[in-house]
């Protein structure tokens, strides 16, 4: 009975949080002129291996990820991750982002989320038998991304990230700082273009580590399908992890819809 009450309370807290944030979004859009266009984007990505920049949040199995984006400068961007092998949830991340501009080339993006990660662990019963349970970890996160576009092809950026673990058995403070140059609009065959984003980041979560990763994206403006990949290699790390060198490839389908607020 106690566990049922805790479960219901957690669900009510999540629902209340989403409802509160949604009210902020609608209050923002009410101020927008009808001439301003908003966007709704949905992306479905299938990967051969689910990877996270936080080592202990890596799934390490085939995964499917659902991304959505609703809004314009202030947007709500929930992400839902599932294992393809057993259909169990991997993570749920409720991102809010504000896209600010200092100048035409210099942008500042602010991020905040409430997230849940799920992990299957083994527990022992009183009779010595073992059972599996899906443990939920809760986080509150804030981040900032400054970026400067040098030209059509090259951009420079950074990512500053802080996450607070909300459960007693978790690491309470996680810090990440990274340097992210981007090479975009790389011409390939016909109308295909590529984008590459190498990254060096410092991660501190009790122990610390320095990692190198590279993301690539191949897309065609005439097609909703795109190809992506990620390679991650620790340069130096004391952070406990089940994985060392990681890589994945994924295929995405993107749906875009623009809309205007009716009077």
Among the listed residues 148, 150, 156, 158, the one whose alpha carbon sits nearest the alpha carbon of residue 179: 158
Residue 170, helix vs strand vs coil: coil
Q: Which residues contact 114 (CB under 8 A, 6 or more apart)?
A: 14, 17, 94, 138, 139, 140, 141
Among the listed residues 59, 43, 77, the one whose alpha carbon sits nearest the alpha carbon of residue 230: 59
Q: How confident is the model at residue 122 (pLDDT cuts 50, 70, 90)?
A: low
- pTM (2 decimals)? 0.79
The stretch 74-89 carries a mean pLDDT of: 92
Most confident among 28-32, 84-88, 118-122 (mean pLDDT): 84-88
**pLDDT attached to residue 62:** 96
Token duo for residue 263: 């009077």
| 132, pLDDT greater than 80 | no
- State the chain's mean pLDDT as an integer: 83
Query: Which pLDDT tens digit goes with each residue over 192-235?
Result: 999 999 999 999 998 899 999 999 999 998 899 999 999 999 99
Token duo for residue 61: 């199995």
**pLDDT attached to residue 242:** 77
Query: Which pLDDT tens digit goes with each residue over 1-16?
Result: 434 434 444 454 454 4
| 260, pLDDT greater than 80 | no
Radius of gyration, CA atoms only, the chain: 20
* Top-confidence residue, 80 or 241: 80
- Report the percentage of the chain scoring pLDDT > 70: 78
**pLDDT attached to residue 14:** 52
């Amino acid at each position: 009975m106690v566990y049922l009450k805790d479960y219901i309370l957690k669900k009510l807290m999540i629902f209340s949080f989403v409802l509160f944030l949604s009210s902020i979004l609608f209050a923002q859009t009410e101020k927008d002129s009808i001439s301003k266009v908003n966007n709704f984007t949905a992306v479905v990505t299938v990967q051969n291996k689910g990877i996270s920049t936080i080592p202990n949040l890596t799934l390490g199995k085939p995964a499917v990820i659902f991304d959505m984006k609703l809004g314009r400068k202030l947007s709500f961007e929930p992400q839902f991750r599932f294992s393809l092998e057993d259909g169990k949830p991997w993570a749920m991340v409720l991102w809010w982002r504000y896209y600010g501009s200092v100048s035409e080339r210099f942008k500042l993006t602010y991020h905040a989320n409430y997230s849940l990660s799920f992990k299957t662990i083994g527990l022992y019963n009183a009779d010595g038998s073992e059972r599996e349970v899906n443990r939920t970890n809760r986080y509150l996160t804030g981040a900032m991304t400054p970026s400067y576009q040098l030209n059509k092809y090259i951009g420079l950026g950074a990512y500053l990230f802080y996450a607070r673990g909300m459960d007693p058995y978790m690491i309470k403070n996680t810090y990440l700082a990274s340097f992210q140059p981007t090479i975009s609009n790389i011409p390939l065959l016909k109308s295909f273009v590529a984008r590459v984003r190498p990254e060096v980041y410092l991660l501190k979560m009790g122990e610390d580590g320095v990692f190198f990763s590279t993301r690539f994206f191949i897309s065609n403006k005439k097609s909703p399908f795109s190809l992506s990949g990620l390679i991650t290699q620790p340069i130096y790390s004391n952070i406990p992890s089940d994985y060392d060198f990681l890589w994945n490839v994924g295929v995405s389908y993107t749906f875009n819809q623009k809309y205007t607020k009716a009077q």
